């Protein structure tokens, strides 16, 4: 990148970005810059990791390197489009030959940015892609009397607002988007803290406790349940 990461000053909508990049130093630099712009960034370092995360979770934009281990970026983009994953894709690579550009666009990418690049240009391209969609932001997620509004980041239990930290909000949104489905600890950690993150053994449990205190305490119907030995699920029934 030209001149390193220098966050811009424009006010813009927060995006959930999947960054698939096997250069650890560049990935960390980009993540730092994007998070300073108040975006939520999930990292993947291989083609299969990027493919699985793209299929499982909702992102506003995917930033996809070409030279990836196991599956290259062209193949990841092609498979996502075959499986009707329509999240906008920005190919990010040092390969700038016309044939490579054409190959990336034909595979299903929406834009193509070559290395080295200016960080402000990357931000502008990401904003442009997020405005196109096609991920349709849900106006409201709901389970029983718990509601979450992705567009405003507001959460209510009944008619009472629930005030959450950033991590608590991301964790709750993940559970609500997969309501009724048991998510493993590893899956949750990868989605909330990113692939390859090292967190203390009890960090996830601590956030679940905080979330339960805010969402479930004082309510006759508990919504956040532990599946012992595996993970967590958000559902209406009261079994645990």
Query: Does residue 104 sit in the same domain as residue 161?
Result: no
Residue finishing a domain among 106, 132, 158: 132
Query: Does residue 176 sit in the same domain as residue 112?
Result: no
Query: Does residue 168 sit in the same domain as residue 186?
Result: yes
Q: Two tokens at 97?
A: 């030959």
Whether residue 3 lies inside any domain: the answer is no
CA 19 from chain centre, in angstroms, equals: 9
Q: Tell me whether residue 100 is exposed, middle or buried, using C-beta atoms within 10 angstroms of its C-beta: 0 to 12, 13 to 18, 19 or more.
A: middle
Query: Does residue 80 sit in the same domain as residue 112?
Result: yes
Q: Two tokens at 87?
A: 């999240």
Rounded Cα distance, 112 and 64, in Å? 9
Tell me the pLDDT of the chain (240 aa) as tens digits: 544 444 444 445 788 899 999 999 999 999 999 999 989 999 999 999 999 888 888 888 999 999 998 899 999 999 998 887 888 999 987 876 777 778 888 888 888 888 888 899 999 889 888 776 554 445 688 999 999 987 778 899 999 999 998 889 889 988 998 888 898 888 888 777 755 556 676 889 999 999 999 999 888 889 999 999 889 999 987 544
Whether residue 8 lies inside any domain: the answer is no
Give residue 181's domain range.
Answer: 141-234
Angle between helices 185-193 and 47-56 (to 10 degrees): 100
CA 140 from chain centre, in angstroms, equals: 18
CATH number, domain of 182, equals 1.10.10.10
DSSP letter at 69? S
For tokens 């929406």, name the residue. 110
Whether residue 78 lies inside any domain: the answer is yes
Query: Does residue 128 sit in the same domain as residue 150?
Result: no
For tokens 């930290």, name the residue. 165
Query: Does residue 99 sit in the same domain as residue 152?
Result: no
Angle (CA) 70-73-78 rounded to 5° is 105
Q: Is the pTM of this model over 0.75?
A: no
């Amino acid at each position: 990148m030209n001149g390193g990461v220098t966050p811009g000053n424009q006010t813009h909508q927060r995006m959930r970005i999947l960054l698939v990049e096997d250069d650890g130093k560049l990935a960390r630099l980009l993540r730092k810059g994007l998070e300073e712009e108040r975006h939520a960034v999930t990292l993947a370092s291989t083609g299969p990791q990027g493919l699985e995360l793209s299929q499982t979770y909702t992102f506003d934009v995917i930033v996809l390197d070409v030279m990836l281990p196991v599956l290259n970026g062209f193949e990841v983009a092609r498979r996502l489009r075959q499986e009707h994953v329509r999240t906008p894709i920005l190919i990010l690579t040092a390969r700038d030959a016309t044939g490579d550009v054409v190959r990336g666009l034909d595979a299903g990418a929406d834009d193509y940015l070559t290395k080295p690049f200016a960080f402000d240009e990357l931000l502008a391209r990401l904003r442009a892609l997020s405005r196109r969609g096609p991920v349709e932001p849900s106006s409201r997620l709901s389970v029983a009397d718990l509601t979450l509004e992705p567009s405003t980041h507001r959460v209510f239990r009944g008619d009472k607002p629930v005030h959450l930290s950033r991590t608590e909000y991301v964790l709750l949104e993940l559970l609500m988007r997969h309501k009724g489905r048991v998510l493993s600890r590893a899956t949750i950690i990868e989605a909330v803290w990113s692939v390859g993150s090292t967190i203390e053994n009890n960090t996830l449990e601590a956030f679940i406790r905080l979330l339960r205190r805010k969402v479930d305490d004082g309510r006759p119907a508990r919504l956040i349940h532990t599946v012992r030995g595996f993970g967590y699920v958000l559902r209406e029934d009261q079994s645990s």
